[in-house]
């Protein structure tokens, strides 16, 4: 595992590492962003993750996996981010380096997280929906949105 790269232990107990190899630039240029809990809960493509029996007092959380492609929410006055789906006005801004869990869809559940966006040698097998968005990711590396990034 590369030095100083945060990994997450997933439900299967395996580590999730989105970088193909260590990159000082990728680690030093991570950007701090806020993920919108409301946008995550509204996204039908993100599944709930029950780890325990569900009760009314303990709702099912939603989890975004490491390697999720992120975009700025168009028109959001707080400049929050959500998962990229190649919709109108969406542009790839970066990649989530670890899992993030949201307990509900309120602004209180918005999560501040780092985002990798520059000089990262990503392992394309660890990028969520890579096959679906390969062309958009390649375009993002050449148009300056993901400068110096590679999907190996």
Helix (H, G, I), strand (E, B) or coil at 109: helix
Beta bridge partners, 72, equal: 81
Per-residue pLDDT tens, the chain, 152 aa: give them: 444 444 444 444 344 689 998 888 888 889 999 999 999 988 878 766 655 555 555 566 788 889 999 999 999 999 999 999 999 889 999 999 999 988 888 899 999 999 999 999 999 999 999 999 999 999 999 998 999 999 99
pTM score of the predicted model? 0.83
* Closest-CA residue to 92 (of 110, 67, 109): 67
Containing 46, the helix (H) or strand (E) segment is: none
- State the pLDDT at residue 63: 85
First-to-last C-alpha distance (Å) of the chain? 16
* Closest-CA residue to 83 (of 70, 66, 65): 70
Asked whether the beta carbons of 72 and 104 are under 8 A apart, the reply is no
Contacts of 42 (CB under 8 A, 6+ apart): 105
What tokens does 24 get? 């000082």
């Amino acid at each position: 595992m590369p030095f100083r790269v945060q990994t997450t232990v997933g439900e299967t107990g395996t580590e999730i590492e989105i970088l193909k190899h260590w990159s000082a630039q990728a680690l030093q240029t991570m950007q701090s962003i806020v993920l919108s809990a409301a946008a995550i809960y509204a996204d039908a493509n993100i599944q709930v993750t029950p780890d325990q029996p569900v009760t009314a007092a303990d709702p099912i959380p939603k989890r975004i996996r490491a390697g999720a492609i992120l975009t700025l929410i168009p028109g959001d006055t707080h400049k929050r981010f959500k998962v990229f789906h190649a919709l109108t006005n969406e542009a790839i801004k970066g990649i989530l380096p670890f899992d993030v869990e949201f307990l509900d869809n309120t602004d209180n559940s918005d999560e501040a997280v780092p985002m990798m966006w520059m000089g990262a040698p990503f392992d394309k097998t660890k990028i969520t929906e890579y096959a679906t968005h390969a062309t958009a990711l390649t375009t993002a590396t050449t148009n300056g949105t993901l400068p110096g990034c590679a999907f190996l």
